[in-house]
Amino acid sequence: MRAVSSAFRERVYEVVRRIPPGRVMGYGHVASALSQPGMARQVGWALAALPGETDVPWQRVIRSSGHLASQGDVDRAIRQRGLLEQEGVEFTGDRVDMPRFGVPPETFLAAAARGTPA
């Protein structure tokens, strides 16, 4: 895992905390919501740096294809899927229907401007 600044990590965590239960965003969408397109990988690094116990709902950030990004950690992917299913996110095979459960960055930015969850 590469280092990202603590300021960037905190901004990522603020965005992720605003994703409502039962919804997901892609790593790139989180980066776009931060006005940092092209930094999807850094979003992933920020989430990987979270401590085990956290109030950041990291499970709500997945690949924009709807797949979970396990990076070889099968246990983490199983846990993430379970957490998402508990929130009502449905899977078709191994992927989430992004048009149904995804929060586009534009929607997120509009909600943030209103001060409401996406």
Distances in Å between the Cα of 105 and the Cα atoms of 13, 30, 36, 49, 64 are: 15, 7, 11, 23, 11
| Euclidean distance between CA atoms 29 and 26, whole angstroms | 5
The ranges assigned to domains in the chain are 6-114
Strand pairing report for 61-62 and 25-26: parallel
Architecture of domain 6-114: Orthogonal Bundle (1.10)
pTM of the model: 0.88
The beta strands (E) that lie in the chain are given as 25-26, 61-62, 91-92, 95-96
Residues 6+ apart with CB under 8 A from 17: 55, 56, 57
- How confident is the chain (118 residues) per 10-residue block, as mean pLDDT? 79 94 95 90 93 92 92 85 97 94 78 64
